[in-house]
């Protein structure tokens, strides 16, 4: 019986079965593809976090510990793959005499490293010039002393004569912040800036110079063991962080307080896990609506043949079929539709993964490759069951055979419309949106050092309620327009339909419930396409803004010490350079906090870099730069600093800044003029922005050490290479191309281009499917009506006017309603997901090209379906169509 039933479905209602299977396939493909994207992104985040760390653990011995026993414990710890002992000593100062001039620095740090250190930890030290072994000076130290390889420097030792050593090479310490961290400090402690003066000595030479200091000043010496661990970690950054953190705490516990662990690997994974949480948020926000829309499309396709299905079921019941037998037939139909749709959907997902990510696999791990296809298949079967089995179960329980045989066509408003549920839902969306975008609200909360991450899924309610409420409101307005607004429809159609306008409007009004359903589906699909495309366009735009903000400009030159004034003109003469803007980067104390201080030329800084209004939340970029010009003593502070010191606009702020002549901090008074949250090359935390001329006048030097260079966005890498050749080893040159490859908003591991292609492709498919497929099925369902018109003498022109008029009403109302809903939803998504962007966008970016193409393809598909229906109705014998019904 089941085989006969399925055979009959495929022979007599092939379009319905194929359409329902296609809807299931879209849902399965979307879930599987976005799921594999999520799994791949999380694994990539973990890999990038691990590879960004030069030394996984810095294990420091506590004073009074048994160093030998503790070292054996550390090196025998499970998972340790490499280790090296590093000695630290504080020097009272360094000096050097070069060309008759003596230079002296303040206190610094001298490291003793073994000969194998650079091979074990290759990313910790980078040679700039000279030898890679022997006595090595940090780049800024060499600049402070004006020395080069081959020169001699003196290392001051507390209570002992200075020791003379010969410099073998100049090096850069890319991860100086972690190398000189205070191991064991509380996570919320104010981080200390790395020392300006650093010398690296061979292990034997270090012990010769500083072992005599151990007896008199042991407080100036310390020992660390640097470790590289095995990186067989879970793919999810949160799980990987928990694993590494637990291992570090376990080592500290087993040492009984003899060691403290500087967990650099855990810190990197800690930062990545919040990005992973945002990736999950994106999956829910951008993937779930598409899956729901595909399910609605499947239900709509199935419902298109509701009358025929009801008649068939009534006939079976009249011939003795029981409820279990009917449910069994429906279950077989569900299995067929769901199975075919799931197989097709997984095949499509594999192809999309291949095109978008270069691999057909559903994730980078075996677990992900099994879990996501299984989850997508289960979702597809649930969609098929909800579209076929649930309505049948409700039908056989609620209606008798006599009821089912009667053709009832009610025109009453649904209960939700009479109660105004759509307005209530939209009001709820507004309330939730206001609550989840208020000041201090965080969608993802990942406290530093705490294993658990909190995601406020309550924020999903705002966009979800808006989408649902907008769909219901579209239904209400469309039903009102096609019902009571029939004269308006007739007037709008008269230029195209002539005398048939009134008849067509009446026909549309009688069949409006079917047409209204198609309008709602098209509106929801268009809103999904608009909101998804706008979010992705804004995401891409902000990724570029983030790259510009991180690097500062197309090319940025950063020196460890101020460079001569003529450097600006020399850089401007490099081929490909359009503008050069010097900037001074220094440090200043405000209270006890050490913050980055940027001295800028406010009247010309925008020649080489862009300043967005969103950087200045209480004003605009132009207004704040004008304030620095008209009132040179003005200063811009972070919101955190303003809050901590309870400042008001116009208050005087006194900073302690190093004076160029005395090398001692001196107080400089500024006037608080506004808040700045982001600035080119500035760190994420608190910093200060001031007028460079005013800063120079009060500290004795105007020499900049940062140069922002504009190349017009053309041949940036080539221009950076020429600039690098011009400045040599005196400065570091970075270009935006390299930074752009590493920056993708805060989700640094997300393959944004692949994600965009996936989402926009599915959005286009859903828009076309919701319009053309639903329209085609609706026209097919009403083919008896058109056959009657044809039998009464209607010619092809009349049929064309009726079909295309219905298509025009559907297309116009659906696209307009969907566009308006999508626009509001886009703003809401960008606002709710502001934590994904770094920095948050000032406005949304609208992808007009994609939206225009989507509208054109959707309209083209609707026109093609309508033209095909006209041809079918004109050529198929009317008598056969009427008899078929």
> How does residue 494 score in pLDDT terms, banded at 50, 70 and 90?
confident
Do 215 and 340 sit in the same domain of this protein? no
Count Cα neighbours of 697 within 13 Å in the Cβ-side half-sphere. Answer: 9
Do 44 and 132 sit in the same domain of this protein? no
Do 427 and 448 sit in the same domain of this protein? yes
Mean pLDDT for all residues in the chain: 81
303 in any annotated domain = yes
Last residue of a domain, one of 711, 742, 773: 742
Tokens of 622: 């132009």
Question: Which among 124, 138, 306 is positioned nearest to 228, based on CA atoms?
Answer: 124
Whether residue 510 has pLDDT greater than 90 = no
Do 542 and 627 sit in the same domain of this protein? no
Percent of the chain with pLDDT over 90: 26
Do 284 and 175 sit in the same domain of this protein? no
260 in any annotated domain = no
Distance (Å) of CA 330 to CA 1, 343, 750: 12, 20, 42
Looking at residue 73, what is its pLDDT? 92
Model pLDDT for residues 856-865, shown as the tens digit of each residue? 888 888 888 7
Model pLDDT for residues 199-226, shown as the tens digit of each residue? 999 999 999 999 999 888 999 999 999 9
Do 399 and 499 sit in the same domain of this protein? no
Last residue of a domain, one of 229, 247, 278: 229
* C-beta separation of 805 from 875 below 8 A: no
Model pLDDT for residues 673-695, shown as the tens digit of each residue? 999 988 998 877 789 999 999 98
Among 1-5, 346-350, 523-527, name the one with the lowest average pLDDT. 1-5
800 in any annotated domain = yes
In the chain, the largest separation of any two C-alpha atoms, in whole Å, equals 116
Q: How far is 786 from 873, CA to CA, in rounded Å?
A: 7
238 in any annotated domain = no
> How does residue 427 score in pLDDT terms, banded at 50, 70 and 90?
very high
Whether residue 499 has pLDDT greater than 70 = yes
Whether residue 349 has pLDDT greater than 80 = yes
Q: Is the dihedral of CA 147, 152, 158, 159 positive or negative?
A: negative
Among 38-42, 607-611, 690-694, name the one with the lowest average pLDDT. 38-42
Q: Which helix (H) or strand (E) holds 635?
A: strand 634-637
Whether residue 341 has pLDDT greater than 60 = yes
> How does residue 746 score in pLDDT terms, banded at 50, 70 and 90?
very low
> How does residue 785 score in pLDDT terms, banded at 50, 70 and 90?
low
* C-beta separation of 107 from 141 below 8 A: no
Looking at residue 320, what is its pLDDT? 66
Q: Give the pLDDT mean for 735-740.
A: 79
Looking at residue 132, what is its pLDDT? 87
Looking at residue 178, what is its pLDDT? 87
Q: Is 425 left (phi over 0), alpha (psi -120 to 50) or beta?
A: alpha
588 in any annotated domain = yes
Whether residue 666 has pLDDT greater than 90 = no
Q: Give the pLDDT mean for 339-358.
A: 82
Q: How far is 871 from 298, CA to CA, in rounded Å?
A: 26
Looking at residue 299, what is its pLDDT? 73
The parent domain of residue 151 ranges over 80-229
Whether residue 749 has pLDDT greater than 50 = no
Percent of the chain with pLDDT over 70: 81
Looking at residue 228, what is its pLDDT? 94
Among 462-476, 733-747, 835-849, name the one with the lowest average pLDDT. 733-747
Do 448 and 495 sit in the same domain of this protein? yes
Whether residue 167 has pLDDT greater than 70 = yes
Q: Beta 665-675 vs 634-637: how paired, if at all?
A: parallel
Q: Give the pLDDT mean for 752-780.
A: 69
69 in any annotated domain = no
Among 104-113, 517-526, 561-570, 821-830, name the one with the lowest average pLDDT. 561-570
> How does residue 115 score in pLDDT terms, banded at 50, 70 and 90?
very high
253 in any annotated domain = no
Among 62-66, 575-579, 822-826, name the one with the lowest average pLDDT. 62-66
* C-beta separation of 688 from 590 below 8 A: yes
Model pLDDT for residues 381-410, shown as the tens digit of each residue? 887 887 777 776 766 665 555 555 554 444
Whether residue 643 has pLDDT greater than 70 = yes
Among 183-187, 504-508, 612-616, name the one with the lowest average pLDDT. 183-187
254 in any annotated domain = no
Last residue of a domain, one of 742, 758, 777: 742
Q: How far is 448 from 401, CA to CA, in rounded Å?
A: 65
Residue that has been written with the tokens 């008598």 in this structure: 879
Whether residue 89 has pLDDT greater than 60 = yes
Do 302 and 370 sit in the same domain of this protein? yes
Q: Give the pLDDT mean for 91-115.
A: 90
> How does residue 489 score in pLDDT terms, banded at 50, 70 and 90?
confident
Do 387 and 420 sit in the same domain of this protein? no
* C-beta separation of 709 from 569 below 8 A: no
Q: Decide which of 755 and 641 is more confident.
A: 641
Looking at residue 113, what is its pLDDT? 95
Do 500 and 610 sit in the same domain of this protein? no
Whether residue 759 has pLDDT greater than 80 = no
* C-beta separation of 642 from 675 below 8 A: yes
Q: How far is 72 from 337, CA to CA, in rounded Å?
A: 64
Question: Which among 484, 481, 470, 569 is positioned nearest to 520, based on CA atoms?
Answer: 470
Q: Give the pLDDT mean for 467-471.
A: 91
Q: How far is 599 from 660, CA to CA, in rounded Å?
A: 15
Q: Decide which of 62 and 401 is more confident.
A: 62
Q: Count how many domains the chain has.
A: 4
Do 560 and 667 sit in the same domain of this protein? yes
Q: What is the dihedral of CA 649, 635, 682, 827, to 10 degrees?
A: 30
> How does residue 359 score in pLDDT terms, banded at 50, 70 and 90?
confident
Whether residue 451 has pLDDT greater than 60 = no
Do 203 and 160 sit in the same domain of this protein? yes
Q: How far is 689 from 628, CA to CA, in rounded Å?
A: 9
> How does residue 748 score in pLDDT terms, banded at 50, 70 and 90?
very low
């Amino acid at each position: 019986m089941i085989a006969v039933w399925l055979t009959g479905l495929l022979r007599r209602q092939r379009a319905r079965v194929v359409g329902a299977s296609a809807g299931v396939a879209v849902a399965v493909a979307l879930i599987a593809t976005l799921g594999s994207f999520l799994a791949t992104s999380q694994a990539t985040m973990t890999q990038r976090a691990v590879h960004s760390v030069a030394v996984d653990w810095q294990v420091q011995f506590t004073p009074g510990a048994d160093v030998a026993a503790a070292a054996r414990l550390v090196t025998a710890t499970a998972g340790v793959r490499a280790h090296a002992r590093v000695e630290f000593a504080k020097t009272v100062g360094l000096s050097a005499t070069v060309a008759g001039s003596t230079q002296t620095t303040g206190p610094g740090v001298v490291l003793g490293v073994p000969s194998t250190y650079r091979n074990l930890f290759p990313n910790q030290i980078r040679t700039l010039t000279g030898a890679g072994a022997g006595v090595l000076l940090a780049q800024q130290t060499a600049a402070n002393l004006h020395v080069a390889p081959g020169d001699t420097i003196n290392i001051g030792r507390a209570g002992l004569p200075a020791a003379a050593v010969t410099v073998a090479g100049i090096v850069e310490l890319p991860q100086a912040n972690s190398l000189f961290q205070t191991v064991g400090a509380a996570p919320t402690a104010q981080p200390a800036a790395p020392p300006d003066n650093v010398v690296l000595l061979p292990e034997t030479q270090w012990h010769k110079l500083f072992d005599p200091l151990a007896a008199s000043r042991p407080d100036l010496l310390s020992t660390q063991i640097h470790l590289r661990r095995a990186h067989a970690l879970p793919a999810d950054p949160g799980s990987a962080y928990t694993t590494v953190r637990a291992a570090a705490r376990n080592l500290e516990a087993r040492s009984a307080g003899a060691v403290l662990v500087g967990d650099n690997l855990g810190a990197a994974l800690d930062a990545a896990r919040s990005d992973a949480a945002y990736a999950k948020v994106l999956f829910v926000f951008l993937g779930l609506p598409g899956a729901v829309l595909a399910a609605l499309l499947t239900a709509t396709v199935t419902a298109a043949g509701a009358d025929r299905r009801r008649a068939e079921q009534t006939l079976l019941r009249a011939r003795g079929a029981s409820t279990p037998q009917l449910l069994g037939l429906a279950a077989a139909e569900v299995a067929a539709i769901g199975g075919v749709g799931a197989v097709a959907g997984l095949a499509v997902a594999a192809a999309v993964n291949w095109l978008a990510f270069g691999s057909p696999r559903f994730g980078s791990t075996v677990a992900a490759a099994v879990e996501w296809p299984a989850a997508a298949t289960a979702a597809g079967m649930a969609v098929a069951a909800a579209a076929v089995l649930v309505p049948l179960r409700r039908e056989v329980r609620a209606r008798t055979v006599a009821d089912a045989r009667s053709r009832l066509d009610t025109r009453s408003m649904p209960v939700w419309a009479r109660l105004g549920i759509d307005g209530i839902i939209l009001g709820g969306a507004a309330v939730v949106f206001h609550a989840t975008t208020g000041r201090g609200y965080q969608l993802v909360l990942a406290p530093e050092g705490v294993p658990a991450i909190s995601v406020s899924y309550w924020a999903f309610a705002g966009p979800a309620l808006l989408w649902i409420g907008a769909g219901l409101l579209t239904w209400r307005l469309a039903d009102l327009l096609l019902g009571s607004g029939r004269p308006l429809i007739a007037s709008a159609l008269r230029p195209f339909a002539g005398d048939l306008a009134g008849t067509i409007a009446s026909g549309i009004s009688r069949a409006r419930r079917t047409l209204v359903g198609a309008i709602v589906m098209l509106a929801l699909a268009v809103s999904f396409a608009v909101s998804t495309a706008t979010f992705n366009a804004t995401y891409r735009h902000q990724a570029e803004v983030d790259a510009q903000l991180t690097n500062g400009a197309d090319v940025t030159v950063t020196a460890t010490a101020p460079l001569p004034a003529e450097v600006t003109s020399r850089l401007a003469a490099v081929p490909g350079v359009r503008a050069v803007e010097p900037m001074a980067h220094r440090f200043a104390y405000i209270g006890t906090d050490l913050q980055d201080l940027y001295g800028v030329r406010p009247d010309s800084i925008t020649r080489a870099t862009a300043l967005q209004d969103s950087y200045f939340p209480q004003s605009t970029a132009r207004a704040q730069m004008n304030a620095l010009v008209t009132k040179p003593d003005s200063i811009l502070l972070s919101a955190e600093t303003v809050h901590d010191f309870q400042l008001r606009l116009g208050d005087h702020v006194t900073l302690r800044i190093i004076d160029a002549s005395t090398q001692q901090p001196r107080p400089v008074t500024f006037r608080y003029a506004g808040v700045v949250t982001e600035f080119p090359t500035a760190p994420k935390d608190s910093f200060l922005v001031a007028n460079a001329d005013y800063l120079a006048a009060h500290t004795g030097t105007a020499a900049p050490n940062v140069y922002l260079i504009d190349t017009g966005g053309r041949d940036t890498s080539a221009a950076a290479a020429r600039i690098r050749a011009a400045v040599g080893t005196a400065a570091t040159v970075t270009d935006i191309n390299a930074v752009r490859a590493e920056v993708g908003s805060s989700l640094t591991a997300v393959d944004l281009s692949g994600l965009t292609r996936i989402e926009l492709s599915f959005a286009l498919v859903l828009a076309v499917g919701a319009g053309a497929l639903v329209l085609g099925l609706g026209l097919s369902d009403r083919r008896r009506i058109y056959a009657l018109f044809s039998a009464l003498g209607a010619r092809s022109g009349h049929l064309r006017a009726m079909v295309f008029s219905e298509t025009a009403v559907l297309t116009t109302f659906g696209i307009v309603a969907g566009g308006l809903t999508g626009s509001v939803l886009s703003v809401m998504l960008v606002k709710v997901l502001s934590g994904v962007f770094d920095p948050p966008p000032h406005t949304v970016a609208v992808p007009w090209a994609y939206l225009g193409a989507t509208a054109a393809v959707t309209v083209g598909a609707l026109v093609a379906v309508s033209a095909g229906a006209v041809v079918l109705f004109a050529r198929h014998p009317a008598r056969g169509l009427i008899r078929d019904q």
